[in-house]
Structure 1
Amino acid sequence: MDIPGDRRLAAAVVMDDRERVLLVRRSEKERFLPRVWGVPCGKLEPGECPEDGVLRELKEETGLRGVVVRKVGESSFLSEYRGHEIKNWQDNFLVSPLPGQIVLPEPDQDSRWLHRSELTDVDIDEYNLDVVLQAFTHS
Protein backbone atom coordinates (compact mmCIF):
# COMPACT_ATOMS: atom_id res chain seq x y z
CA MET A 1 0.00 0.00 0.00
CA ASP A 2 1.27 3.48 -0.89
CA ILE A 3 1.30 5.55 2.33
CA PRO A 4 2.50 9.12 1.86
CA GLY A 5 4.78 10.74 4.42
CA ASP A 6 4.79 14.41 5.23
CA ARG A 7 3.17 16.57 2.56
CA ARG A 8 4.36 19.94 1.26
CA LEU A 9 1.71 22.44 0.19
CA ALA A 10 1.51 26.04 -0.95
CA ALA A 11 -1.32 28.54 -0.44
CA ALA A 12 -2.10 31.75 -2.34
CA VAL A 13 -3.52 34.77 -0.56
CA VAL A 14 -4.59 36.57 -3.72
CA MET A 15 -4.96 40.29 -3.02
CA ASP A 16 -6.01 42.89 -5.56
CA ASP A 17 -5.03 46.56 -5.67
CA ARG A 18 -8.07 47.41 -3.50
CA GLU A 19 -6.74 45.10 -0.72
CA ARG A 20 -9.53 42.58 -1.31
CA VAL A 21 -8.70 38.91 -0.89
CA LEU A 22 -10.03 36.16 -3.14
CA LEU A 23 -11.78 33.35 -1.27
CA VAL A 24 -13.09 30.23 -2.96
CA ARG A 25 -15.83 27.95 -1.59
CA ARG A 26 -14.85 24.31 -1.86
CA SER A 27 -17.14 21.87 -3.64
CA GLU A 28 -19.52 19.72 -1.61
CA LYS A 29 -17.77 16.74 -3.28
CA GLU A 30 -14.52 17.46 -1.40
CA ARG A 31 -13.58 14.97 1.32
CA PHE A 32 -11.69 17.65 3.25
CA LEU A 33 -13.69 20.72 4.37
CA PRO A 34 -16.55 20.53 1.84
CA ARG A 35 -18.31 23.87 1.14
CA VAL A 36 -15.85 25.79 3.36
CA TRP A 37 -14.38 29.06 2.11
CA GLY A 38 -10.61 29.38 1.85
CA VAL A 39 -7.63 30.38 -0.22
CA PRO A 40 -6.38 28.49 -3.29
CA CYS A 41 -4.01 25.85 -2.00
CA GLY A 42 -2.66 22.44 -2.88
CA LYS A 43 0.07 19.86 -2.79
CA LEU A 44 3.41 20.49 -4.44
CA GLU A 45 4.49 18.15 -7.22
CA PRO A 46 7.73 16.19 -6.66
CA GLY A 47 10.67 18.57 -7.15
CA GLU A 48 8.42 21.63 -7.54
CA CYS A 49 9.44 24.78 -5.67
CA PRO A 50 6.71 26.38 -3.53
CA GLU A 51 6.61 29.58 -5.62
CA ASP A 52 5.91 27.61 -8.81
CA GLY A 53 3.46 25.32 -7.01
CA VAL A 54 1.37 28.13 -5.59
CA LEU A 55 0.95 29.70 -9.06
CA ARG A 56 0.07 26.31 -10.59
CA GLU A 57 -2.53 25.68 -7.87
CA LEU A 58 -3.97 29.18 -8.37
CA LYS A 59 -4.40 28.49 -12.10
CA GLU A 60 -5.89 25.01 -11.52
CA GLU A 61 -8.33 26.16 -8.84
CA THR A 62 -9.42 29.56 -10.19
CA GLY A 63 -8.26 29.90 -13.79
CA LEU A 64 -6.27 32.97 -12.74
CA ARG A 65 -2.60 33.65 -13.25
CA GLY A 66 -0.65 35.67 -10.74
CA VAL A 67 2.71 36.94 -9.53
CA VAL A 68 4.18 35.95 -6.19
CA VAL A 69 4.77 39.13 -4.16
CA ARG A 70 6.38 37.46 -1.13
CA LYS A 71 6.15 34.59 1.29
CA VAL A 72 4.03 35.65 4.27
CA GLY A 73 4.31 32.65 6.55
CA GLU A 74 4.03 28.94 7.14
CA SER A 75 1.31 26.72 8.52
CA SER A 76 0.88 23.06 9.34
CA PHE A 77 -1.99 20.71 10.02
CA LEU A 78 -2.70 17.03 10.44
CA SER A 79 -4.89 15.05 8.08
CA GLU A 80 -5.69 11.40 7.60
CA TYR A 81 -5.07 9.19 4.58
CA ARG A 82 -6.28 5.57 4.65
CA GLY A 83 -6.14 5.47 8.42
CA HIS A 84 -2.68 7.04 8.66
CA GLU A 85 -1.96 10.48 10.10
CA ILE A 86 -0.21 12.82 7.66
CA LYS A 87 1.64 16.00 8.66
CA ASN A 88 1.05 18.79 6.13
CA TRP A 89 3.58 21.64 5.85
CA GLN A 90 2.35 24.70 3.98
CA ASP A 91 4.15 27.78 2.63
CA ASN A 92 1.82 30.78 2.37
CA PHE A 93 2.32 33.46 -0.28
CA LEU A 94 0.86 36.84 -1.07
CA VAL A 95 -0.02 36.76 -4.77
CA SER A 96 -0.98 39.65 -7.03
CA PRO A 97 -3.52 38.53 -9.66
CA LEU A 98 -3.01 39.18 -13.34
CA PRO A 99 -6.07 40.29 -15.35
CA GLY A 100 -8.39 37.41 -16.15
CA GLN A 101 -11.66 35.67 -15.46
CA ILE A 102 -12.21 33.34 -12.52
CA VAL A 103 -13.13 29.86 -13.75
CA LEU A 104 -13.89 27.35 -11.00
CA PRO A 105 -13.55 23.60 -11.67
CA GLU A 106 -16.89 22.54 -10.11
CA PRO A 107 -20.33 24.15 -10.71
CA ASP A 108 -21.20 24.17 -6.99
CA GLN A 109 -18.14 26.25 -6.09
CA ASP A 110 -18.21 30.01 -5.62
CA SER A 111 -15.69 32.83 -5.25
CA ARG A 112 -15.76 36.25 -3.64
CA TRP A 113 -13.42 39.20 -3.31
CA LEU A 114 -13.58 40.37 0.31
CA HIS A 115 -12.06 43.20 2.30
CA ARG A 116 -10.39 42.27 5.57
CA SER A 117 -13.47 43.40 7.53
CA GLU A 118 -15.69 41.04 5.48
CA LEU A 119 -13.68 37.82 5.90
CA THR A 120 -15.94 36.41 8.60
CA ASP A 121 -19.07 37.08 6.52
CA VAL A 122 -18.49 33.66 4.91
CA ASP A 123 -17.93 30.19 6.40
CA ILE A 124 -14.13 30.42 6.55
CA ASP A 125 -12.39 28.09 9.00
CA GLU A 126 -9.83 29.34 11.52
CA TYR A 127 -6.93 27.77 9.61
CA ASN A 128 -7.69 29.61 6.35
CA LEU A 129 -8.47 32.81 8.23
CA ASP A 130 -5.03 32.63 9.87
CA VAL A 131 -3.39 32.15 6.46
CA VAL A 132 -5.14 35.27 5.11
CA LEU A 133 -4.27 37.31 8.19
CA GLN A 134 -0.59 36.41 7.72
CA ALA A 135 -0.66 38.42 4.48
CA PHE A 136 -2.10 41.46 6.26
CA THR A 137 0.28 41.13 9.21
CA HIS A 138 3.34 41.06 6.96
CA SER A 139 2.33 43.86 4.61
Structure 2
Amino acid sequence: MDILSTTGNKRLAAAVVVRKGLVLLVRRSETERFLPRVWGVPCGKLEPAERSEDGVLRELKEETGLLGEVVRKVGESSFMSEYHGQETKNWQDNFLVRPLSLHITLPEPDQAHCWLSPAELHTVDIDEYNLDIVRQALTNV
Protein backbone atom coordinates (compact mmCIF):
# COMPACT_ATOMS: atom_id res chain seq x y z
CA MET A 1 0.00 0.00 0.00
CA ASP A 2 1.43 3.41 -0.88
CA ILE A 3 1.56 6.54 1.24
CA LEU A 4 -1.30 8.15 -0.68
CA SER A 5 -3.80 5.60 0.54
CA THR A 6 -3.15 6.24 4.23
CA THR A 7 -5.62 8.04 6.51
CA GLY A 8 -5.93 11.76 5.77
CA ASN A 9 -5.33 11.34 2.05
CA LYS A 10 -7.77 10.47 -0.72
CA ARG A 11 -6.90 9.09 -4.14
CA LEU A 12 -9.03 10.11 -7.12
CA ALA A 13 -9.05 9.76 -10.88
CA ALA A 14 -10.52 12.12 -13.47
CA ALA A 15 -11.63 11.39 -17.05
CA VAL A 16 -11.30 14.01 -19.76
CA VAL A 17 -13.57 12.44 -22.36
CA VAL A 18 -12.97 13.78 -25.86
CA ARG A 19 -15.01 12.94 -28.94
CA LYS A 20 -14.66 14.68 -32.31
CA GLY A 21 -12.76 17.55 -30.67
CA LEU A 22 -15.44 18.12 -28.01
CA VAL A 23 -14.95 17.68 -24.26
CA LEU A 24 -17.60 16.14 -22.01
CA LEU A 25 -18.48 18.24 -18.96
CA VAL A 26 -20.94 17.27 -16.22
CA ARG A 27 -22.68 19.65 -13.81
CA ARG A 28 -22.61 18.41 -10.23
CA SER A 29 -25.86 18.05 -8.32
CA GLU A 30 -26.98 20.81 -5.96
CA THR A 31 -26.99 18.18 -3.20
CA GLU A 32 -23.21 17.65 -3.44
CA ARG A 33 -21.28 18.84 -0.38
CA PHE A 34 -18.22 19.71 -2.48
CA LEU A 35 -18.69 22.21 -5.34
CA PRO A 36 -22.46 21.86 -5.88
CA ARG A 37 -23.74 22.82 -9.36
CA VAL A 38 -20.19 23.35 -10.70
CA TRP A 39 -19.26 21.97 -14.11
CA GLY A 40 -16.28 19.65 -14.42
CA VAL A 41 -14.94 16.41 -15.79
CA PRO A 42 -16.14 13.05 -14.43
CA CYS A 43 -14.03 12.23 -11.40
CA GLY A 44 -14.23 10.20 -8.24
CA LYS A 45 -12.54 8.39 -5.39
CA LEU A 46 -10.59 5.23 -6.01
CA GLU A 47 -11.36 2.08 -4.07
CA PRO A 48 -8.63 0.75 -1.75
CA ALA A 49 -5.85 -0.86 -3.84
CA GLU A 50 -7.66 0.02 -7.11
CA ARG A 51 -5.42 1.03 -10.00
CA SER A 52 -6.20 4.56 -11.15
CA GLU A 53 -6.58 3.35 -14.78
CA ASP A 54 -9.35 0.99 -13.64
CA GLY A 55 -10.92 3.47 -11.22
CA VAL A 56 -11.26 6.23 -13.80
CA LEU A 57 -13.27 3.93 -16.08
CA ARG A 58 -15.44 2.73 -13.16
CA GLU A 59 -16.12 6.33 -12.11
CA LEU A 60 -16.92 7.32 -15.71
CA LYS A 61 -19.49 4.51 -15.89
CA GLU A 62 -20.99 5.39 -12.46
CA GLU A 63 -21.20 9.12 -13.16
CA THR A 64 -22.25 9.12 -16.83
CA GLY A 65 -23.19 5.60 -17.87
CA LEU A 66 -20.45 5.72 -20.51
CA LEU A 67 -17.98 2.98 -21.28
CA GLY A 68 -14.53 4.27 -22.09
CA GLU A 69 -10.96 3.41 -22.95
CA VAL A 70 -7.96 5.14 -21.38
CA VAL A 71 -5.87 6.78 -24.10
CA ARG A 72 -3.14 7.99 -21.74
CA LYS A 73 -2.45 9.54 -18.38
CA VAL A 74 -2.20 13.29 -18.89
CA GLY A 75 -1.06 14.47 -15.48
CA GLU A 76 -1.60 14.66 -11.78
CA SER A 77 -3.10 17.28 -9.51
CA SER A 78 -3.96 17.75 -5.88
CA PHE A 79 -6.24 19.85 -3.72
CA MET A 80 -7.31 20.19 -0.11
CA SER A 81 -10.86 19.53 1.08
CA GLU A 82 -12.65 18.84 4.33
CA TYR A 83 -13.84 15.30 5.03
CA HIS A 84 -15.67 14.49 8.27
CA GLY A 85 -14.40 17.73 9.79
CA GLN A 86 -10.78 17.00 8.93
CA GLU A 87 -8.53 18.61 6.30
CA THR A 88 -7.82 16.03 3.63
CA LYS A 89 -5.23 16.06 0.86
CA ASN A 90 -6.68 14.76 -2.41
CA TRP A 91 -4.28 13.23 -4.95
CA GLN A 92 -5.71 12.87 -8.43
CA ASP A 93 -4.55 11.12 -11.59
CA ASN A 94 -5.96 12.65 -14.77
CA PHE A 95 -6.62 10.65 -17.93
CA LEU A 96 -7.61 11.29 -21.53
CA VAL A 97 -10.43 8.86 -22.26
CA ARG A 98 -12.07 7.87 -25.53
CA PRO A 99 -15.77 7.00 -25.18
CA LEU A 100 -16.81 3.53 -26.32
CA SER A 101 -20.52 4.30 -25.90
CA LEU A 102 -22.50 7.52 -26.34
CA HIS A 103 -25.70 7.31 -24.26
CA ILE A 104 -25.23 9.41 -21.12
CA THR A 105 -27.20 8.62 -17.96
CA LEU A 106 -26.64 10.93 -14.98
CA PRO A 107 -27.31 9.70 -11.42
CA GLU A 108 -29.22 12.79 -10.19
CA PRO A 109 -32.13 14.53 -11.99
CA ASP A 110 -30.70 18.04 -11.41
CA GLN A 111 -27.42 17.21 -13.13
CA ALA A 112 -26.65 18.12 -16.73
CA HIS A 113 -23.99 17.37 -19.31
CA CYS A 114 -22.66 19.03 -22.44
CA TRP A 115 -20.05 18.51 -25.11
CA LEU A 116 -18.02 21.68 -25.65
CA SER A 117 -15.14 22.72 -27.85
CA PRO A 118 -12.09 24.03 -26.00
CA ALA A 119 -13.09 27.58 -27.01
CA GLU A 120 -16.55 27.13 -25.43
CA LEU A 121 -15.40 25.93 -22.00
CA HIS A 122 -15.76 29.43 -20.53
CA THR A 123 -19.50 29.42 -21.34
CA VAL A 124 -20.30 27.26 -18.28
CA ASP A 125 -19.49 27.64 -14.56
CA ILE A 126 -16.28 25.57 -14.60
CA ASP A 127 -13.57 26.20 -12.01
CA GLU A 128 -9.90 26.80 -12.77
CA TYR A 129 -8.94 23.38 -11.34
CA ASN A 130 -11.11 21.51 -13.89
CA LEU A 131 -9.99 23.83 -16.69
CA ASP A 132 -6.39 22.92 -15.90
CA ILE A 133 -7.21 19.20 -16.09
CA VAL A 134 -8.82 19.71 -19.52
CA ARG A 135 -5.79 21.70 -20.68
CA GLN A 136 -3.50 18.86 -19.54
CA ALA A 137 -5.48 16.41 -21.65
CA LEU A 138 -5.72 18.58 -24.75
CA THR A 139 -1.96 19.17 -24.91
CA ASN A 140 -0.58 16.95 -27.69
CA VAL A 141 -3.93 15.30 -28.49
* TM-score category (smaller protein): over 0.9
| Equivalent residue, structure 2, for 1:34 | 36
| Equivalent residue, structure 2, for 1:25 | 27
- TM-score normalised by structure 1 residue count: 0.95
Unaligned runs of 5+ in 2: 1-5
CA distance in 2, matches of 1:56, 1:42: 9
CA distance in 2, matches of 1:44, 1:90: 9
Q: 2:101 is paired with a residue of what secondary structure?
A: coil
Q: What whole-Å deviation, never above 9, does each CA across 1:102-133 have from its counterpart, x for those lacking one?
A: 00000000000000000010000010010011
Q: Which of 126, 136, 139 pairs up with 1:137? A: 139
Letter in 2 for 1:136: L
| Equivalent residue, structure 1, for 2:125 | 123
Letter in 2 for 1:33: L
Q: What whole-Å deviation, never above 9, does each CA across 1:46-98 have from its counterpart, x for those lacking one?
A: 11000000000000000000000000000000001122110000000000001
CA distance in 1, matches of 2:44, 2:82: 16
Q: 1:15 is paired with a residue of what secondary structure?
A: strand
Change in CA separation of 1:73 and 1:138 when aligned onto 2, cut-off 3 Å = farther
Q: 1:46 is paired with a residue of what secondary structure?
A: coil
Residue 50 of structure 2 is aligned to residue 53 of structure 1 = no
Count of equivalent residues = 136
CA RMSD in angstroms, aligned pairs only? 1.1
Residue 17 of structure 2 is aligned to residue 14 of structure 1 = yes
Q: 2:130 is paired with a residue of what secondary structure?
A: helix
Q: Percent identity between the aligned chains?
A: 73
1:72/1:138 contact within 8 Å kept: no
- TM-score normalised by structure 2 residue count: 0.93
| TM-fit CA distance, 1:100 | 3.0
